[in-house]
Amino acid sequence: MIVYRITGSKYTGDLLGSGGATHGGRWNKKGTPTLYTGINMEIAILETIVHTPPMLVPNLDVLAIEIPDLFTELKIEELPPNWTNYPAPSILAEIAEDWVMEGKTIALKVPSCVIRSSFNFILNCRHPEYLQKVKILDRKSFHFDSRLTG
């Protein structure tokens, strides 16, 4: 399966989840290395837009990343009613933390808050097979059209 990640060019080579571990997020606690990816390039860019201040758009790269087809999926009906709130309810990071510690799959498929009919894949950088099974297939510069934030 191929997933997509749009990230600052200086972080393109980091597939180890350093940013996620440093800051935490909707689907991970601070200290837990995860990598956020999207099911397609379009959701990856929308997720980037909602998390990037308009005046601070860095040089971006888009990565096509191969992951195993076996993943754990969380459906909307399994999530608390406030799962889309910002800031995110801490229960989401707790659910994902349990998944990371369980270590059964490399990827967690979750609905996107931005477009609920689309999906993100959270990658467990601590999974014992992560480095063997997660591969960058393609890396390209991404032109960020300023009209997207204007």
Residue 88, classed as helix, strand or coil, is: coil
Q: Is the pLDDT of residue 7 over 70?
A: yes
62 Cβ contact list (under 8 Å, min separation 6): 4, 5, 6, 41, 44, 139, 140, 141, 142
118 with 38: CB under 8 angstroms?
A: yes
Q: What is the pTM of this model?
A: 0.94
CA atoms within 13 A on the CB side of 35: 30
Rounded Cα distance between 108 and 100, Å, is 9
Taking 70 as the threshold, does the pLDDT of residue 11 lie above it? yes
Q: What is the pLDDT of residue 97?
A: 97
**pLDDT attached to residue 46:** 92
- Interatomic CA distance for residues 54 and 81, integer angstroms: 29
Q: How confident is the model at residue 53 (pLDDT cuts 50, 70, 90)?
A: confident
What pLDDT was estimated at residue 90?
97
The CA distances from residue 137 to 62, 70, 77, 131, in Å, are 11, 18, 33, 14
